[in-house]
Chain A
Amino acid sequence: MAIFIGSIILLIQDKSPIDTFSLMLRLSVGSVNSLSASLNKAIPLILAGLGISIINSVKLWNIGAEGQIFLGAIAVNFIYINTQINSPSIHIFVLLVAGFVGGSLCILIPAITKVVFGVNEIITTLLTNYIVFGVTIFLINGPWKDPKSLNFPAAAYVGEEVFLPTIIGKLSFGFLICILFTILAHYLKNKSVFGFEMRIAGGSAMTAVYAGINAKQKAFIAMLIGGGFAGLAGAIELLSQTHRVSTGISQGFGYTAIIVAAITGMRPLGIFLVGSLFGALSIGGSVIQTIGVSAYIADIIQASTLFGALIIQFFFTYQIKKVEND
């Protein structure tokens, strides 16, 4: 359906759909370099998506991944400025932990207001996005402003010693972290005792009481872990892509991650696959601009794919079955 809609739009603009799609395919997965670019783009989507899926285990939504990504990056820069560590590998590790903690801090207020007062978390996590984004703009225009970056407000670059190494081509080391955390999230959600307790806490309040599970505590911990995943995404983005705090740390990754998590039914392994696909789609979308096709078409294709996925889900859930009568 998505390809159909995309083709119509392309035809209206006098561009050959087949050429465009094959170009998109070639430039997103056709070579080591383009494939690694696609997977790099997938890292924040996957990590933030995993965080959202963990929080969803207790039947809560996290719309605040975008803010958590930014605060993760801010935390990394804060620690980078204020600490002195000689060993690069330990330094990078400390900074990644800082990113995780930053993401957790970002969701701390929504988590407290949810658990203590019962304030709707969809709204509070959404609002924190704007607060953190405002703080980011404040920092890069004020205290952290790099005098060398004249027209584009941004913080100073971090030193090369803390750049994340690459594995193959341009593929960042972050992708290995991503694989590790996918397995971790899968284990946490589906195999661990905590995951089981989370599902009960989210599923039925009464069952949780009878089983002696502290539902509020589980919800609180799940939110902090989930926020941390998104914060880690921000840390990796800073250390491997932008190398400095700017508004470019996230291009709506936090919002796309919600969709990635939701259409896979919150399954970690599915998030890994679909997240990679989305990374490729967005790289494909940005390169087709060079042949004069508007980048919005990639967004439109993406959105129609998603609506298509929702509609298909409906028909899978509610199949008409023929029942034999005697």
Chain B
Amino acid sequence: MIDIQLIGLLNATLQAATLLFIAALGELITEKSGILNLGVEGMISIGAVAGFMTAINTENIFLAILIGVLSSSIFASIHALVTVVLKQDQTVSGLILTILGLALSSLLGKNYVGRKLVTKLESVTSISEPTNIVEVLISQNIIFYIAVLLMISTSLILKKTMFGRRLEAVGEDSKSSDSMGLKVAKTQFIATCVGGAFAGLSGVYLTLSYVPYWTDNMTSGRGWIALALVIFGGWKPYRTALGAVLFGFLEALVPRLQTYGFELSPYIVKITPYVITILVLVILTIYKGGKTGAPKNIGVPFFRENR
């Protein structure tokens, strides 16, 4: 017999993890190309609001997903334009992207606050109250399975395909890559937009399924956690997924602590993931002698003229 509460916890963990993981995976791809995008929080908001508005107005859930993903991707292209084409500072541009994304999504979603979604993103099977682990795993909605698929395919693409190897080469050493005839700017531009698209999918998951309504700042720092996850995962898709499950577990655990009779303050539990991430970073750096898996050229603009 497995405790029904435990099943609920597992279900909530998977959902929280999915949300974090998709955005983190997108950022991973962007960072692999050597572009740091601190605008994840803003991109998730844009995807979330665009998806929600489409769902309310058209009641077509797949169109909503599509619009959410596309609008975030287009939004991310601002960052690509400023950092890849105009070679400006990536930290600054990413932070502005967050501010712009949060403000723009609040403005767009102003008339949608409190509106109820008619067509919510439902589970792929007809199980609404899972009672065992297998049922939890088969009762998620479509985006969960897309996320699993994306995890496997991203790992394969990065390791096995020409595009993946080129992406990594550009992020590691853009100058040599350019000498080898790789198109640095084009690769980085695409990687940034793909990262935006993933963040958009994460945003759509947030408003169409995780909390099916719209309020201001509803991303509540998840974009920043996604950034931390990439580092936690050492720029590897599977380890990032593991980190997402851990962070998702802690997020799911906090509201349930009291029912289990723990006296631990929920506020302290909330900061543990960040403390763990710092510890993991330190341990990784010590053991691997500075090789945390970070792309070498991250944050460094590429000037062909200075080569």
Contacts and interface: CB of A to CB of B under 8 A. Distances in A.
Contacts of A9: 107
A125 to B, nearest CB: 10
Interface stretch (A43-51, A70-78, A100-108, A310-318): A310-318
Contacts of B88: 310-311, 313-314
B265 interface: yes
Nearest to B104: A300
Contacts of B242: none
B67 interface: no
Contacts of B271: 130-131, 134-135
A296 B282 contact: no
Contacts, number: 125
Query: Could you say which interface size class chain B belongs to?
Result: 35 or more
A119 B234 CA distance: 13
B201 interface: no
B95 interface: yes
Q: Which of A9, A296, A302 has the most CB of B within 10 A?
A: A296
A4 interface: no
Contacts of A262: 89, 91-92
Given A119-B282, A259-B96, A63 B91 contact: yes
B230 to A, nearest CB: 9
B294 interface: yes
Interface stretch (B125-133, B144-152, B181-189, B221-229): B221-229
Given A300-B100, A314-B86, A118 B290 contact: yes
B286 A126 contact: no
Looking at chain A's contact residues, the main secondary structure is helix
26 contacts: A9-B107, A61-B91, A63-B91, A117-B285, A117-B286, A118-B290, A119-B282, A120-B231, A120-B292, A123-B228, A123-B277, A126-B224, A127-B228, A130-B224, A130-B274, A134-B270, A137-B267, A138-B265, A141-B267, A258-B91, A296-B106, A299-B103, A303-B96, A306-B99, A307-B96, A310-B86
Q: What 7 pairs across the A-B complex have the smallest Cβ distances?
A: A299-B103, A134-B271, A303-B100, A138-B267, A262-B92, A314-B86, A296-B103
